[in-house]
Amino acid sequence: MTLLVTGGAGFIGSNFLYRTAEREPETRLVCVDKLTYAANPATLAPLIEQGLVRFYRTDVCDRGAVFSVFEETRPDAVVHFAAESHVDRSIADPSVFLKTNVTGTGVLLDACRAFGVVRFHQISTDEVYGDLPLTGGDPFTEASPLRPGSPYAASKAAADLLALSYAHTYGLPVTVSRCSNNYGRFQNPEKLIPRMIARALAGKTLPVYGTGKNVRDWLHVTDHCDAVRLILRRGVPGEIYNVGGGFEIDNLSLVKRLCRLLDAPETLIGFVPDRRGHDLRYAVDAKKLRSLGWEPGTDFETGLKETVLWYLNNRDWWAPLQERADQGSL
């Protein structure tokens, strides 16, 4: 099988390519990535040099270029990770998110129809559901209404609906997965965990929004990758699957855990004005995915320690990205 992965030089996409190359050596892997600020070309270098991944520097919004890649590689399936994903950046400039996340998805769906792709998998987020109260409130199921609270979340909800409309209208075999917050290696330092690690190591203030009481459910990136691989094999076309790590923690408590792991003083923590429209809490019910045979394999305490150790041992990977990330926000 030939599997085309968009956004494969980014955080989750690169982990997915490594995991698939390791577990499914018979699968031919193709990566399409625009190489924006959020991607690091060095991440995939070992896979490309070993001939395990065929790489194309291509914008998913460029219809001609995308169709050329499909013509050349003839993928059997597509996993669509490519997206603008930073909420603060979406608040500052929603237009970029609409173009990449909606228009880019539409281009890929058209290419899949034209070339007879047998599965298109849309990677989405739990943020499309909106938020829950800090206490109480059942986790979101796949049937929960969509109430996106940021331009980023709205663009992903639109992309989900567009993909599902192609399943309904054209019979394109589409599946969608909506994951909770991912963590692990290869994550850009603009995101919470790697940003706190990098700033703590430099003795800089650790900026926490508002009171730090906003709650997130954390999922190890490897567990997410295995969930997607399983959905490709056993998922039902036209269906949505939630992927949750099942570990909820508020942002302030998480930053304090990182301080302890890094032996950094909690006095580095500083509170900053809250994000506009900051969602209170995310939590998803992953029973539907579990019924396919998936279970998260990494507990949060172990995964967080491993992640901290990876960043400590791989400064050469994230240091070039750090200054750029510090120019943004949490």
Please write the tens of the pLDDT for every residue from 259-269.
999 999 999 99
Q: Decide if 127 contacts 181 (C-beta within 8 A).
A: no
Residues 258, 239 share a domain? no
- Asked whether residue 292 is domain-assigned, the answer is no
Residues 274, 203 share a domain? yes
- Asked whether residue 293 is domain-assigned, the answer is no
- Asked whether residue 307 is domain-assigned, the answer is yes
Most distant CA atoms of the chain, gap in Å: 57
- Asked whether residue 138 is domain-assigned, the answer is yes
Q: Which of 56, 129, 152, 282 is catalytic?
A: 152
Q: How far is CA 315 from its chain centroid?
A: 22
Q: Decide if 244 contacts 286 (C-beta within 8 A).
A: yes
- Which pTM value belongs to this model? 0.95
Q: Which of 126, 131, 250, 279 is catalytic?
A: 126
Closest to 86 (Cα-Cα) out of 208, 191, 212: 191
- Asked whether residue 285 is domain-assigned, the answer is no
Across the chain, what does the average pLDDT equal?
95
Active site residue 152: yes
DSSP 3-state assignment of 139? coil
For residue 325, what pLDDT is reported?
55
For residue 328, what pLDDT is reported?
46
Q: Which of 59, 84, 127, 142 is catalytic?
A: 127
Residues 144, 66 share a domain? yes
**Can you give the CATH number for the domain in which 7 is found?**
3.40.50.720
Residues 67, 200 share a domain? no
Residues 92, 233 share a domain? yes
Closest to 249 (Cα-Cα) out of 192, 207, 200, 295: 192
- Asked whether residue 224 is domain-assigned, the answer is yes
For the chain, the domain total comes to: 2
Residues 269, 142 share a domain? no
Residues 320, 205 share a domain? yes
Residue ranges of the chain whose pLDDT lies below 50:
328-330
| Cα separation, 185 vs 140, whole angstroms | 27
- Asked whether residue 287 is domain-assigned, the answer is no
DSSP 3-state assignment of 306? helix
For residue 324, what pLDDT is reported?
63
- Indicate the pairing of strand 240-243 with strand 269-272: unpaired
For residue 94, what pLDDT is reported?
80
**Can you give the CATH number for the domain in which 309 is found?**
3.90.25.10
Residues 202, 66 share a domain? no
- Asked whether residue 286 is domain-assigned, the answer is no
Q: Tell me the residue range of the domain where 13 lies.
A: 2-182+219-243
Q: How far is CA 39 from its chain centroid?
A: 12
Residues 195, 78 share a domain? no
Residues 195, 82 share a domain? no
Residues 147, 206 share a domain? no
Residues 235, 143 share a domain? yes
Active site residue 126: yes
